[in-house]
Structure 1
Amino acid sequence: MRARQCIIESYLPFARILAAKIFGRRIDNDLDFAEYMQFASLGLVQAVDQFDFSRDILFRTFATHRINGAILNGLEHMSEKREQISTRRRLNDERNNAIKSVIAEAEIDTFQQLAEIAISFAFGYILDNPHIYQHDEAITQESAYGGLELKQLREKVRALVERLPHKERLVIKSHYLNHLPFNVIAETLELSKGRIAQLHSSALKLLHRSIRNIEICDVIL
C-alpha cells in the first residue's frame, strides 16, 4: 500500500499535465479545472491498480490512456446530466406557463388558480417518465414502501391517460412520456401552440376528475 501511494503521488503532476491539456481545449467554461483534475486523479488510481507489471509496456503509456479516458468519460457524464436537467427545467417551465395562461383566461379567483397550478405540478410529477433521465432504481425514496406506492399510482394514472379523448391523450403522452415541447407537438398535430396548451389544461382537468374514482394511495413524496 505504501508503494502504491508513492506511485500515485509521483504521477500526480503527470496527471495534472494531461488534465491541463484537455482543459485548454475546452469549448465552454461550465466546469472548473478542479473537476478535470478530479477525473484525472481517478484515472491515475485506476491505472495504478490495473497495471500489469509483467507486460512489456511502459506505465506512463498505460496511464496516459486511462487518465485521458477517465477525463473524457467524466466530462461526457457531466454534460449528459446538465442536458437532462436543462431539458426537464425547460419542459416544466413550458407546461406551467401554459397552465397559468389558460387559468388567467378563465377568470377564476386566486385560490382556484393556485389549486389548478398545484394540480398541474402533481400530475406532472406522477406522469413524468423517469426512464428518460435515470432508472427507477436510482430514484431516491424515503422508503421502499413509498417507492412502491408511487409506482402503483403512476400505473393507475397512466391507465387513465389511455381513456382521455384522442387529442388530449396525444398531447399528454407526447409531452410527459416522450418529453416533446409544445411547439413540436403543435407541428405534429397541425395545431397552434396555444391550442396545445388548452388541450394540455383540459387533459389535466379530466384526469383530476377521473382520479377521484380510483383508490387513493398514501404516497410519500
Structure 2
Amino acid sequence: MARQQLIESYLPFARMLAAKLFAKRIDSDLEFEEYMQFASLGLIQAVDHFDHTRQIQFSTFAAHRIKGSVLNGLEHMSEKREQISTRRQLREERNLSIKAVLSEPEVDTFQQLAEIAISFAFGYILENPVTYHHEDAISEDSVYAGLELKQLREKVRYLVNRLPHKERIIIKSHYLNHLPFNTIADTLQLSKGRIAQLHKNALSLLHQALGSSESCDAIF
C-alpha cells in the first residue's frame, strides 16, 4: 500500500520531468504519452530501488531514475525505428532488382509474376531466420508448419553457401548483414546495377537448386 501511495504521489513529479524533456524534443514523431510511459517506469524503478538509509532525498534519486528511463527508452525507440527504416530501404532496393524482370520482353507475363513472387518468398526466408511462436498458441498444425519452415530455411542456407562467389557474397551481405547494394558494390568494386543483376541471378539459382532438391517438403 505504501509503495502504491508513493508512486501515485510522485506521478505529478514524473509528469513534470517528462514534460521538460518533451519540450526539448528533436524528434516530433513521438507523443508525450510515450515520454510519460518511460517516466512512469523510471519512477517505479526508483521506488523499488530507493535505499532510505542513504543520505539522499527520494526526489533527487527519483529524478535521476526518471530522466534515465526516458532517455534510454527514447534511444531504444530511435534505434528500433532506424532498423525498421533501414530494412524498408533494403526491401525497396531489392524489390527494384526483382521487378526488373517485368522489363524483359522475352519472358511472358505469367512467368514474370511467378519469378517476382518466388523472389519475394526467398527474401522472406533469408531475412527472417527464426520464427517465434507463443507457447499458448502452438497447435499441432503450427508445430508441423514451423518444423517444415525450419527445414526449408536450413536448406536455403545450405544452397546459399553453394552459390558462385559473388552471388554468395551479395546474398549474405544484403540479407544477413543488411548492407545496401551500393555498399556491396564498393566492396566488390562493381557497379550498383551489376550488383542488382547478380542479386537477381542468385535468387534464380536458389530457385532452380531448391526445385531440383528432393529433401525439402516445401515447393515453390
2:197 aligns with: 198
Alignment-mate amino acid for residue 216 of structure 1: C
1:11 and 2:10 matched: yes
Alignment-mate amino acid for residue 195 of structure 1: R
**1:4 partner SS:** helix
**1:53 partner SS:** coil
* In structure 2, C-alpha distance between the alignment counterparts of 1:126 and 1:103, rounded to whole Å: 23
Over 3 Å counting, the alpha-carbon distance change for 1:100 and 1:122 in structure 2 is: same
Over 3 Å counting, the alpha-carbon distance change for 1:69 and 1:214 in structure 2 is: farther
2:47 aligns with: 48
Alignment-mate amino acid for residue 11 of structure 1: Y
* In structure 1, C-alpha distance between the alignment counterparts of 2:32 and 2:42, rounded to whole Å: 15
**1:108 partner SS:** coil
* In structure 2, C-alpha distance between the alignment counterparts of 1:90 and 1:107, rounded to whole Å: 30
Alignment-mate amino acid for residue 117 of structure 1: I
Alignment-mate amino acid for residue 180 of structure 1: L
Moved over 6 A (4+): none
* In structure 2, C-alpha distance between the alignment counterparts of 1:45 and 1:144, rounded to whole Å: 39
Where in structure 2 are the equivalents of 1:130-141 lying within 5 Å? 136=130, 139-140=132-133
* In structure 1, C-alpha distance between the alignment counterparts of 2:54 and 2:147, rounded to whole Å: 51
Alignment-mate amino acid for residue 35 of structure 1: E
2:215 aligns with: 215
* In structure 2, C-alpha distance between the alignment counterparts of 1:152 and 1:114, rounded to whole Å: 26
CA contact (8 A) 1:102 1:197 kept: no
Over 3 Å counting, the alpha-carbon distance change for 1:48 and 1:144 in structure 2 is: farther
Alignment-mate amino acid for residue 83 of structure 2: Q
Where in structure 2 are the equivalents of 1:102-113 lying within 5 Å? 102-113=101-112
What TM-score results when the alignment is normalised by the length of structure 1? 0.87
What TM-score results when the alignment is normalised by the length of structure 2? 0.88
**1:41 partner SS:** helix
Deviations 1:72-97 (A, max 9, x none): 11111111111111111111111011
* In structure 2, C-alpha distance between the alignment counterparts of 1:147 and 1:28, rounded to whole Å: 39
Over 3 Å counting, the alpha-carbon distance change for 1:67 and 1:114 in structure 2 is: same
Q: Which runs of 5+ in 1 are unaligned?
A: 131-135
Cα offset for 1:148? 4.0
* In structure 1, C-alpha distance between the alignment counterparts of 2:112 and 2:61, rounded to whole Å: 62
Deviations 1:158-201 (A, max 9, x none): 11111111221121111111111111111221212111111111
Cα offset for 1:15? 0.5
**1:215 partner SS:** coil
* In structure 2, C-alpha distance between the alignment counterparts of 1:154 and 1:181, rounded to whole Å: 22
Percent identity between the aligned chains?
Answer: 72
Count of residue pairs brought into register by the alignment: 212
CA RMSD after TM alignment = 2.0
**1:55 partner SS:** coil
* In structure 1, C-alpha distance between the alignment counterparts of 2:214 and 2:197, rounded to whole Å: 25
* In structure 2, C-alpha distance between the alignment counterparts of 1:140 and 1:182, rounded to whole Å: 32
* In structure 2, C-alpha distance between the alignment counterparts of 1:183 and 1:129, rounded to whole Å: 22
* In structure 1, C-alpha distance between the alignment counterparts of 2:61 and 2:199, rounded to whole Å: 55
Where in structure 2 are the equivalents of 1:1-221 lying within 5 Å? 1=1, 3-128=2-127, 136=130, 139-140=132-133, 143-212=142-211, 213-217=213-217
* In structure 2, C-alpha distance between the alignment counterparts of 1:9 and 1:171, rounded to whole Å: 55
* In structure 2, C-alpha distance between the alignment counterparts of 1:215 and 1:202, rounded to whole Å: 23
**1:57 partner SS:** coil
CA contact (8 A) 2:42 2:69 kept: yes
